[in-house]
Amino acid sequence: MSAAARPRRSRPLRTLAAVTTAAAFALIPAVPARADAIRDQQWGLEALHTEQAWRTTKGEGVTVAVLDTGVDDQHPDLAGQVLPGKDLIGFGAGRGDSSWALHGTAMAGIIAGRGNGPGRADGVLGVAPEAKILPVRVILESNDPSRGKARESRGTALADGIRWATDQGADVINLSLGDDSKSAHPEPGEDSAIQYALGKGVAVVASAGNSGDKGDRVSYPAAYPGVIAVAAVDRYGTHASFSTRRWYATVSAPGVDIVVANPDQHYYIEWGTSAASAFVSGAVALVRAAHPGLSPAQLKTLLADTARNAPEGGRDDARGYGLVDPAAAIEAGAKLCPEGAEARSAVAGYRKQYFGAGPEPEREDEDPAGWLAPAAGGLGAVLLALAVVLWRGGNSVSRAR
């Protein structure tokens, strides 16, 4: 992690998805946080040139499926944005519980939050504030007592969720989750579901993984062919040390000190490749709204070609092709997709296992097959930390408990 980001490690640490190889909860003494307004702390919006992109579109007409721990459709920042969804777990925490829909609500806010209060000047504003969120519950929070039961009985939830979201008309699928444990391996059912989505013209975005400082292990679903895999950077464009460095990284996006909404009506500052994935899903929603005829393969190529701050040589495993830039992608997309074109249903087309040289993951018989992404470890699936809680609608700040 960069020198600027390293001190943030002194803030409370909390994972938000099931963890197989690390403690689910670790607290470190907090440090004071700035007392700026919530909106002022959303540095990611400026980094992605959203104001420029919004001159063309704010995502109207696009549906982003959030496959996660559930989404609070009653949160003021998401009021009217959340469509009827699907719960593929069927048990565990419910509304009002401390372990319900934390991670999913955070991701939905990054993608399509609309803020709240007078002039919607308070709360979280998403990258595509006019897009709709389709929630699909496929994992449980790390502190949900039913997590173990879900791992054993809902192993196909992720694959089923991808297919369901596709059939419900999702334009983009956000997967801020993954398995980057030592036993991680590709699951045929998940791979097939992703290819099904791509073949139907649905763009699939996933977090690259959070094992950058713990072995850089391959993360699935990020490593499946056709997926737009997202690495994390800080506000200076520096690769975040926790962000996995692998061949499949497509682009990078903000993943450090990200303000997120929470069902408890507070706001938290967190970091991880989960947030980076959500930012890119919002960016894809903007590009898709402007150019609905683009296929998933075209969208992926477009994001890579228009990314800013490209690494030396044009690409590396730490940041992909650079920082995603939806405004530039919208402008360049006009040349690829003339008005009225209907190319969206085109299949992604890449049929090899990897985008470039990749290892053959080893299988371990003792690892529960099928849970993979839902068993999300430091996986792409988590925001690595929650730091401070910011009171809604004001500048006062209190520390997380």
- Catalytic annotation, residues: 68, 103, 274
User: Residue 336 CB: number of other CB atoms within 10 A?
Assistant: 18
- Residues in contact with 125: Cβ distance below 8 Å, sequence separation at least 6, in sequence order: 39, 42, 45, 113, 114, 115
User: What distances in angstroms separate CA 316 from CA 5, 11, 102, 251, 342, one per listed residue?
Assistant: 21, 30, 32, 10, 33
Task: Answer for the pair 157, 139: CB distance below 8 angstroms, yes or no.
Answer: yes
Q: Helices (H) and strands (E) in the chain — how many of each?
A: 9, 15
The residue type at 16: L
Task: Answer for the pair 14, 386: CB distance below 8 angstroms, yes or no.
Answer: yes
Task: Answer for the pair 255, 239: CB distance below 8 angstroms, yes or no.
Answer: no
Classify residue 312 as exposed, middle or buried by CB count within 10 Å of its CB (0-12, 13-18, 19+): exposed
- Residues in contact with 306: Cβ distance below 8 Å, sequence separation at least 6, in sequence order: 325, 328, 329, 331, 332
For the chain, helix, strand, coil in percent to 5 are 25, 20, 55
Task: Answer for the pair 319, 231: CB distance below 8 angstroms, yes or no.
Answer: yes
Task: Answer for the pair 386, 105: CB distance below 8 angstroms, yes or no.
Answer: no
Classify residue 198 as exposed, middle or buried by CB count within 10 Å of its CB (0-12, 13-18, 19+): buried
DSSP 145: T
C-alpha 348/C-alpha 194 separation (Å) is 10
Cα first-last separation, the chain: 25
Which H or E element spans position 285? helix 273-290
C-alpha 77/C-alpha 248 separation (Å) is 33
Q: Is the dihedral of CA 211, 215, 220, 223 positive or negative?
A: positive
